Structure 1
Amino acid sequence: MSTFEGHIREFPDIQVDYFRTTQATASRRPLACFLSHVHSDHLVGLDTLRSPFVYCSMATRALVLRLEKYPCRINFAKRILEARKQTYKHLKHLLKPLPLNTPTTIELSPGNRIQVTLLDANHCPGSVMFLFEDDHKAALYTGDTRLEPWFVNSLVRNPCLAEYTAGLRTIDTVYLDTTFIERDVTFETKAEGIRELLQAVAKYPHNTIFYMRAWTFGYEDVWTALAKALRSKIHVDEYKMRMFKSLSVDATGGPQTALDPVAPGLLGFTYANTFHDGCLTMEEAHNGTPVRIHSCEKGLGYCSAIRDPTHPIVWIRPVVCRLPYGRGEVPEVGAGGCGEDLNKETDLEVYGPDEVARLREM
């Protein structure tokens, strides 16, 4: 769970991944804001933000604008609400997308400029790190990042970081998530975790149906691996499909139209005038064969395939890591500690001093 309050000491005129007023910003409002990714613990206060611009990746912008809070989307699905209520839709003109690996100069005020570069964070669709620079200082904000060996090597080769790896410049501060730094645990790589999962599901009979508890963004590689290994589509609800379709400029277009590399594999793409299916579907059966993998909405009582008592169901529950000496597992409460962004049991708002003061006045 992110507890960062958004302040970059080297660049006090900006705020990152936290959009409420704090003691530091009460007398000095930020001139620009930055959003690293779509997980809810990094969106604190964004729904009430009125200014300034918020810079993010193209994929993050697309996802954020279509986010719906859990009660609203469930009530719409049950036809209690007549229209969708997209929480951040009003920020359409405030969210400004930037390309990755492209140093971009932003003028905060006359004569006050910073350069920002978005770097892939290896976390979830659209997730980025921010490299903030001026002529004298540099700070790297990682957001939530998965620093596996291959990924660290890719950063070393990134041309936007070449002057630092060559020793010509120094990054003054790295703002790094330290959620698990005090725990005596070792994290598997994503590849190791997926390999273990595939070995486990391969032991079950061919008529077994698997329910993958994918309640937030970040399980796309797991979906892809399961779909390929089991030769099956993945049944998702309409809301999940809508969210991932936002990652394509045109859901029937080619890979070049995708806002994130995961989009063609999930949604499909057109090649040589032929549409190639992605692994996600809203149908419980595909070509007459029942879908073996499900990540559909649990708040509506699941789909008929999961409710059918004659189907052998295996529930896949992700874990963050295993504790040493057989002391159990750390359950996944959402990638990045964000809770259940796609499937929530409850919807909890945490209010700051400004909101409490307004409630008292009322």
Structure 2
Amino acid sequence: MSSFAGRMKEYPTISLDRFDRENVHARAYFLSHCHKDHMKGLKGPLLKRKLQFSRTVRLYCSFVTKELLLSNPRYRFWEEFIVPLELESPTQISLVDEASGEKEDVVVTLLPAGHCPGSVMFLFEGCHGNVLYTGDFRFSVGDASRIEHLHSGSRVKDIHSVYLDSTFYDPRFYQIPTREVCLNGISELIRNWICQSSYHVVWLNCKAAYGYEYLFTNLGEEFNTQIHVNNLDMFKKMPEILSYVTTDRRTQIHACRHPKVLIYLMRSFSMVTGCRVVVQPLMGLLFVSLASNRPPCGSEREPRKPTSSSRQEEVPSEPVSVSTPRTLRLKTSCRIFGRSTFTPVSSPSVAR
């Protein structure tokens, strides 16, 4: 959850990933990616009113973020005020005070953040020094050394300040496993679960709308299946992933959203028709909870009768106790699913 207030002291007329309160009065807005904790105030009435009377204020982001943002009807009013910028291409921006006419020029460069589709870091260069705003990011060893715009010749650029995502600024997360290690761990859990019977269903408790594409595609390839989601609209701009997701509830792997996880789990524990494994990547831990096999989308499947020839088809007849839920905890990174290479498309009519 982002706790950044939106302003940098070196360039206080810019607002980043925060669009409420005093940030409304900024001369330029920057959005690092489309996650709600970085979009506070972005559809607020005060900001809408300012845009109606401003001729210079714009929202800067990546091309992918623009497409994802405008795919949500609640943000369509931004369409004429968004300026998408190319990755790793320094761009000069004029910060204009519309009341006095005062102008300040700053050069901004978008750098890939590896967090989710469209996510970027912002490097600002101007009269108040070089400043790097990371937003949410994920780097592997050696990634920073390969970013040309963080270097001047053979040496690292002089960076006056770094505004750093500090989600994992904690000794407990000193060693974060690689994306591949995390994926292998999740795959093994799912394999061991769904192979027990067709009644064993997996629910991936995804906390954000975007950023799990790497997981979906790899699980789809691994188990030759599609991942159930509530709707396909959010993936229309990413045609490469459309073949890995579905609205068909009959699949064993679900990433559909449920409004109240705890309420759902309480209800699920009262069911006696099998089990479900809940994989929840949150705060560096992979939570695996056992509950009934009813998919969280609310689909009603008639359980098939177990066959006498296979023990794998047997369904537990004992209800799971609410007071003693069985929970496994596997340490992993909650941001293993970013670094997307999916390319957005402008056309809204992408075949499902």
Q: Which residue of 1 aligns with 2:246?
A: 281
What is aligned with 1:88?
Answer: 75
Which is further off, 139-148 or 212-221?
A: 212-221
Once the two structures are superposed, the pairs formed by residues 101-120 of structure 1 within 5 Å of their partners are 101-109=88-96, 112-120=104-112
Correspondence for 1:40: 36
Q: Relative to structure 2, which stretch is displaced further, 102-111 or 41-50?
A: 102-111
Quick check: 188-197 or 174-183, which moved more?
Answer: 174-183
Structure 1 residues 331 and 40: alpha-carbon distance in aligned structure 2, compared to 1, 3 A threshold: farther
Task: Work out whether 1:3 is the aligned partner of 2:8.
Answer: no
Question: What is the distance in 2 between the residues matched to 1:182 and 1:296?
Answer: 31
1:180-225 Cα offsets, whole Å, 9 max, x none, are: 4245334323222111111222223533322211231222211122
| Cα shift at 1:322 | 4.6
C-alpha contact 1:60 1:127 (8 A) present in aligned 2: yes
With normalisation by structure 2, the TM-score equals 0.67
Gap change, CA 1:5 and 1:136, over 3 Å in 2: closer
Question: In structure 2, what is the Cα distance between the partners aligned to 1:310 and 1:331?
Answer: 29
- Structure-2 residue corresponding to 1:184: 172
How far 1:168 sits from its partner (Å)? 6.8
Deviation of 1:335 (Å): 6.4
Q: Deviations over 1:34-60 (max 9, x none)?
A: 011111111111112234211011121
Per the alignment, residue 223 of structure 1 pairs with 216
1:320–1:331 CA contact under 8 A, matched in 2: no
Quote the Cα distance in structure 1 between the aligned partners of 2:156 and 2:273: 65
Is 1:316 equivalent to 2:279 in the alignment? yes
User: Equivalent residues in 2 for 1:131-210 (5 A)?
Assistant: 131-134=123-126, 137-149=129-141, 153-163=142-152, 166-167=154-155, 169-186=157-174, 187-206=176-195, 207=198, 208-210=200-202
Contact 1:101 1:119 in 2 (8 A): yes
User: Are 1:114 and 1:133, in contact at CA under 8 Å, matched by a contact in 2?
Assistant: yes
CA deviations 1:262-301 (Å, max 9, x no partner) are xx1x12xxxxxxxxxx2112223xxxxx422111243599
Cα distance in 1 for residues equivalent to 2:160 and 2:215: 36
5 Å-filtered alignment, 1:316-355, equals 316-322=279-285
Unmatched 5+ stretches in structure 1 = 68-85, 252-263, 268-277, 285-289, 337-362
Normalising by structure 1, we get a TM-score of: 0.66
Counterpart of 2:345 in structure 1 is none
Query: Counterpart of 2:136 in structure 1: which amino acid?
Result: D
| Contact 2:62 2:118 (C-alpha < 8 Å) held by counterparts | yes
**Matched residues, number:** 269
Q: Aligned in 2, Cα 1:102/1:309: closer, same or farther, shift over 3 Å?
A: farther
Indicate conservation of the 8 Å contact 1:122/1:146, yes or no. yes
Q: Take 2:35 and 2:330, find their aligned partners in 1: how far apart are those partners?
A: 19
For the 8 Å contact 1:227–1:293, the answer to whether it is kept is no
CA distance in 1, matches of 2:139, 2:184: 19
Q: Secondary structure at the match of 1:88?
A: helix
Structure 2: unaligned runs, 5 residues or longer: 52-56, 97-101, 287-327, 337-352
* Partners of 1:185 and 1:322 within 8 A in 2: no
Change (3 A) 1:192 1:310: same
Question: After superposition, what is the alpha-carbon deviation per residue over 1:220-256, rounded to whole angstroms, capped at 9, x for unaligned?
Answer: 2111221111111111112xx11121x24xx5xxxxx
- AA at the equivalent of 2:281: P
Q: Among residues 253, 257, 260, which one is paired with 1:293 in the alignment? A: 253
Residue of structure 2 equivalent to 1:99: 86
Cross-structure match for 1:235: 228
Query: CA contact under 8 A between 1:211 and 1:314: conserved in structure 2?
Result: yes
Which residue identity does 2:256 align to in structure 1? C
Q: Percent identity?
A: 33
AA in 2 matched with 1:295: A
CA contact (8 A) 2:228 2:247 kept: yes
How far does the alpha carbon of each residue in 1:107-146 deviate from its partner, in whole angstroms, 9 at most, with x for none? 2237521111111111111111000112662100000112
Higher-Rg member (1/2): 2
In 1: Cα distance, 2:115 partner to 2:162 partner: 17
